[in-house]
Structure 1
């Protein structure tokens, strides 16, 4: 061991005696070549150490392999810079760069740890479950809080990096002390960003919307696909994307179809003749709902909701597990009920009635009859006049 140490000191002394533009790259390259195998050994040791630990520590070690390698490289470069025969100006610049790199790596590691903790926490919830209300609540809260925490880490990291530069640090202190026009302009410029950040925290706490909520906003129907730190992406029914700021959902009204649960009641309106068999249609509605795989078995009802001069209005209610199934079930009920009326009760379909009256016939003793163009109901009737003289002839 002592002999190896002596050989190492002799090698370093020989390198230092070389010109600085030759010795410095040799020392830096040697430190990098030494630290990479060392990192591989340390990483395998860390994997064995956390093999029996929780999923968080195992994921943290796996995800921070790159940052930890860069951190060791930064430490090796710092040792090489302190040993290499560099001028004071070059040494100062390199130390500043290494310090910024180390602070950035620390912020990167914190952001990675936050992401790992969020992913592990959300593993217990499934968005594709039949009743995913609880999962959507937790996904919304954790995603917004994760982005807020990562934004805070980025701001703190950037602030620490700026504080390492003496001119920038003095400028920031003088700007905060003077509170002049530049500070006012900066505050006004940051107002939309800060308002959206506060709105995001408020949405995470109160949850007027959640991930995969079915909503109607700006006269468009869709699902909440993504909630970021500043905006919300709504996936519309025709695959378009509607992007809205977070403050929109705090300041303006909108419809949330899955606020408390995913089940919905769909309504189907039909307009039929006054002679329509209501009880038979009610039985047919129950049969259609019972045979459908979309019906959740909770609500099925038919009522006469209005009566007008020519038709009566029927409202049929059926329930389904979620908004897409409710829409499909409404279309199925409407189609099959119309087919039932066409096949079993065609007289129940809407029709128009007309009566032709001619109080002053053109011929003495003439009479007015009718010729129906569309069968019963006299729809499209036209008068046919008969002449008694022609009949006598």
Structure 2
């Protein structure tokens, strides 16, 4: 006891005891902890340790708070305080320690995920990079949510009044439990869908998809919904469970390279060889063509026109869209200039006898 160190063994003043518990002990512990952090930062300075560096930075405030609270509890037995005051300080310190440790642990776990997601997802990222990033984002959010929920549960069960009320509610929660389960069904479904999404990877960040007839890119994956950035700069927000229950079109599931076609309808007198040569010339001069696939074929004969399909390839969906538009425009201009009679026509023949 610190009172034994006072002259004559007199009792320690109340203000002096509070000063030691609330200021001196936590202040000394904080100074020591900051010195340890400064030493660790100095050792890691200039070294390539992204994971350890982030772990040391994330949740530093929570760790310092936990150190101060531990010092407060350690100083309580060494001072003379009224029993009620000592019990109140000890209980508040214990609750604060649970919160600080839970938050610090959650931030450390998030730091590990963030360290592996340090690189930005560029436009040319391959499918494996998008797969890893999608899994890391989903599991990071699940880990943070679990940490927050666990910390909140520990805090609530540490309060006697709340624990008593909670147990009484659980004892009489027949109908209420069913109602709560039904109300929480969408959230639970989305949670399970998020885990399935991270494991099976039907979509990834940056994928080009067609959802509800809308073409766009996967811009964000949260714990409850996916944001699709459409081509016209709108945002389509879709619940996670949608991607486990309905079919979607993913144009970049394994690769971003695409095959696509355009159709032109011309008269029966059209020279197909000339169209084939012009289409090849246009593709070879276009930077959007990746030089993998090219074909010009007559795919159908209709009553008044011939259907010609131009098959081509491109490196990604954006390049393919531009290439299709360019091919339509230039081929129509070519036919109008060189073979105007080869465009679709309606014929009407009048015999001389009937005309007379």
* TM-score when normalising by structure 2: 0.87
What does residue 327 of structure 2 align with? 333
Q: Number of aligned residue pairs: give it.
A: 352
Deviation at 1:65, TM superposition (A): 2.6
Check conservation: 1:28, 1:81, Cα contact below 8 A.
no
Distance 1:14 1:39, change over 3 A: farther
The structure number with the bigger radius of gyration is 1
Q: Please name the residue that 2:69 is paired with.
A: 74
Whether 2:114 is the aligned partner of 1:116: answer no
Deviation at 1:92, TM superposition (A): 3.5
Q: Which residues of 2 match residues 277-288 of structure 1 at below 5 A? A: 277-288=271-282
Counterpart pick for 1:308 among 291, 302, 314: 302
Match of 1:99 among 90, 94, 98: 94
Write the distance in 2 (CA, Å) between the matches of 1:66 and 1:357: 97
Give the secondary-structure state (helix, strand or coil) at the position aligned to 1:318: strand
Alpha-carbon distance in 1 for matches of 2:322, 2:186: 41
Could you tell me which residue of structure 2 aligns to residue 381 of structure 1?
Answer: none
Partner of residue 18, structure 2: 24
54, 57, 72: which is aligned to 2:52? 57
CA contact (8 A) 2:54 2:112 kept: no
- Equivalence map 1:248-327=2 (5 Å): 248-327=242-321
CA displacement, residues 179-215 of structure 1 (integer Å, 9 cap, x when unaligned): 5222222222221111111111111111111111111
After superposition, the Cα gap between the structure-2 partners of 1:224 and 1:278, relative to the gap in structure 1 and judged at 3 Å, is same
Partners of 2:40 and 2:125 in 1: how far apart?
Answer: 40
Question: Is the Cα contact below 8 Å between 2:138 and 2:221 reproduced in 1?
Answer: yes
CA distance in 2, matches of 1:188, 1:16: 59
Q: Deviations over 1:110-139 (max 9, x none)?
A: 22222222233345x763263611111111
Q: CA deviation at 1:247?
A: 0.8
Kindly state the Cα deviation for residue 238 of structure 1 after the two structures are TM-superposed.
Answer: 0.9
Aligned pairs for 1:228-247 (under 5 A) are: 228-247=222-241
CA RMSD, Structure 1 to Structure 2 (Å): 3.1
CA contact (8 A) 1:265 1:319 kept: yes
Unaligned segments of structure 1, at least 5 residues: 1-5, 362-366, 368-393
| Corresponding residue for residue 206 of structure 2 | 212
Structure 1 SS opposite 2:203: coil
Distance 2:267 2:354 in 1: 33
Question: Which structure 2 residues correspond to residues 29-44 of structure 1 after superposition, within 5 A?
Answer: 29-31=23-25, 33-44=27-38
Checking the alignment, whether the CA contact within 8 Å between 1:232 and 1:245 is kept in structure 2 is yes
How far the C-alpha of 1:248 sits from its partner, in A, is 0.8
Distance in structure 1 (CA, Å) of the matches to 2:234 and 2:197: 24
Structure 2 runs not aligned, ≥5 long: none
SS of corresponding position for 2:299: strand
Larger relative CO (CA 8 A, sep 6+): 1 or 2?
A: 2
Work out whether residues 126 and 135 of structure 1, in 8 Å CA contact, stay in contact via their aligned partners in 2: no
CA offsets per residue over residues 42-82 of structure 1, 9 Å max, x none?
21122245566843222211223322222233234445666
Q: Deviations over 1:149-170 (max 9, x none)?
A: 2222122111111111123323
In 2, Cα distance between the equivalents of 1:87 and 1:342?
100
Distance 2:76 2:323 in 1: 72
Aligned residue for 1:188, secondary structure, equals helix
Local SS of the residue matching 1:353: coil
CA distance in 2, matches of 1:173, 1:203: 36
Q: Contact (CA 8 Å) 1:267, 1:317: kept in 2 or not?
A: yes
Other-structure match for 1:344: 338
Show the counterpart of 1:375: none
